[in-house]
């Protein structure tokens, strides 16, 4: 495909006609142009020797010259319009964002207060389903995984091998990392890894928990300050039904207190320009991951490039060759 970068330059094709039509004749400072006798002598010699203006050849030579000059002007105009050859559109295959998923797998994630396909499931299973779908949607991104309970463990640094991350996700079980919840340590580990990923921007962390920071060496206040300093956007998700129930000693279902530290999670998200979400059920959890996917579109997802090559030098070279030919023909009197 050929395109012109400056198509308005074709208006210059009218310039010679406009000059001939409207420009006044050239005159000297004091009337007509200065007449030099020797030029008339040269003209007479040319007439006698059968030059460009000789009888029978003058009009033909003049017509050829006009055609050459017109063609030269056309080529120069085409060159000035800058013709380019464009290749087929090619989608940019960029690496997108670095996303670190930080997930709580303490024993409280065994609470069966979620429903999937009319079957009651525990919180962790609901998280696996929603997170796995999210991972598959992020075609151009690198995904990492940190699991935490009493301690935090880096299960996968940010990587393009999203299938491995999904495999680890499905293999995890509640209680594998301990009974308590060390949110601060998990966040610190995630920030350290994503900082060393080699990218300076397009980094986000998705922190999911159903409890409060009750273990580890980093407090939530320290974690918030650390996250703000690293300038990594953090989305926080609180998981658990608003009214969970537990079996009492007498076999009666009693309402359990909500243990999610929503204030700290909201502060963490606000301080890093992220957002806090609350997941009460499986559908709500899936909507949260879909919303994060919408808020953080994959970089270069819809961008295309086309190879281009400049062709202006071809008409420019042709114009130069025709100019040399015109000078040659004029001198030879052809």
Mean pLDDT of the region 116-135: 90
Q: Please check whether residues 311 and 251 belong to one and the same domain.
A: no
- Do the Cβ atoms of 200 and 241 come closer than 8 Å? no
In a domain, 261, yes or no: yes
Tell me the residue range of the domain where 203 lies: 98-295
Are 115 and 149 in a shared domain?
yes
Q: Give counts: helices (H), strands (E), the chain.
A: 10, 13
Residue 27: inside a domain: no
Angle between helices 123-137 and 162-171 (to 10 degrees): 180
* Nearest Cα residue to 187 out of 163, 210, 221: 221
Helix boundaries (H) for the chain: 15-22, 37-48, 58-80, 123-137, 162-171, 183-195, 220-230, 262-271, 282-295, 313-332
The answer on 191 and 50 residing in a single domain is: no
Do 186 and 114 belong together in one domain?
yes
Using a 10 angstrom Cβ sphere, with 0-12 exposed, 13-18 middle and 19 or more buried, the burial of residue 311 is: middle
Residue 318 located in a structural domain:
yes
Q: Among 282, 290, 304, 299, which residue's Cα sits nearest to residue 137?
A: 290
What's the whole-number average pLDDT of the chain? 80
Residues 266 and 310 in one domain: no
Q: Are residues 170 and 244 in the same domain?
A: yes
Segment 143-182, tens digit of pLDDT:
999 999 999 999 999 998 999 999 999 999 988 888 888 9
Q: Are residues 121 and 265 in the same domain?
A: yes
pLDDT given at position 22: 82
Is 301 domain-assigned? no
Share of the chain above pLDDT 70, in %: 78
For 96-120, how does the pLDDT look when each residue is reduced to its tens digit (9 = 90+)? 788 999 999 999 898 888 888 888 9
Same domain, 64 and 199: no
Do 194 and 82 lie in one domain? The reply is no
Tell if the pTM clears 0.75, that is, is over it: no
- Residue 60 sits in the same domain as residue 208: no
Number of domains in the chain: 2
Same domain, 164 and 281: yes
Whichever domain contains 113, its CATH number is 3.40.50.410
In this structure, are 52 and 183 located in the same domain? no
């Amino acid at each position: 495909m050929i395109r012109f970068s400056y198509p308005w330059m074709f208006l210059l094709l009218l310039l010679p006609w406009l000059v001939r039509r409207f420009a006044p004749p050239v005159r000297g400072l004091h009337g007509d142009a200065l007449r030099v006798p020797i030029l008339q002598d040269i003209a007479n010699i040319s007439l006698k020797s059968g030059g460009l203006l000789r009888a029978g050849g003058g009009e033909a030579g003049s017509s050829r010259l006009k055609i050459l000059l017109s063609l030269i002007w056309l080529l120069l105009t085409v060159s000035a319009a800058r013709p380019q050859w464009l290749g087929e559109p090619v989608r940019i295959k960029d690496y997108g964002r670095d996303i670190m998923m930080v997930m709580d797998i303490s024993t409280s994630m065994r609470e069966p207060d979620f429903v999937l396909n009319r079957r009651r499931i525990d919180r962790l299973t609901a998280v696996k389903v929603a997170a796995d779908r999210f991972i598959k949607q992020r075609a151009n991104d690198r995904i990492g995984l940190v699991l935490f309970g009493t301690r935090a463990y880096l299960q996968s640094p940010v990587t393009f091998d999203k299938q491995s991350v999904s495999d680890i996700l499905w293999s995890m079980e509640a209680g594998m990392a301990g009974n308590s919840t060390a949110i601060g340590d998990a966040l610190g580990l995630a920030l350290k890894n994503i900082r060393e990923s080699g990218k300076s921007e397009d980094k986000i962390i998705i922190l999911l928990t159903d409890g409060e920071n009750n273990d580890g060496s980093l407090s939530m206040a320290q974690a918030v300050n650390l996250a703000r300093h690293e300038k990594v956007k953090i989305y926080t998700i609180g998981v658990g039904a608003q009214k969970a129930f537990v079996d009492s000693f007498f076999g009666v279902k009693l309402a359990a207190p909500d243990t999610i530290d929503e204030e700290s999670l909201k502060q963490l998200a606000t301080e890093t320009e992220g957002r806090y979400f609350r997941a009460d059920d499986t559908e709500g959890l899936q909507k949260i991951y879909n919303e994060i996917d919408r808020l953080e579109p994959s970089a270069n997802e819809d961008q295309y490039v086309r190879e281009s090559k400049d062709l202006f030098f071809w008409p420019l070279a042709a114009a130069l060759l025709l100019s040399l030919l015109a000078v040659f023909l004029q001198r030879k009197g052809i």
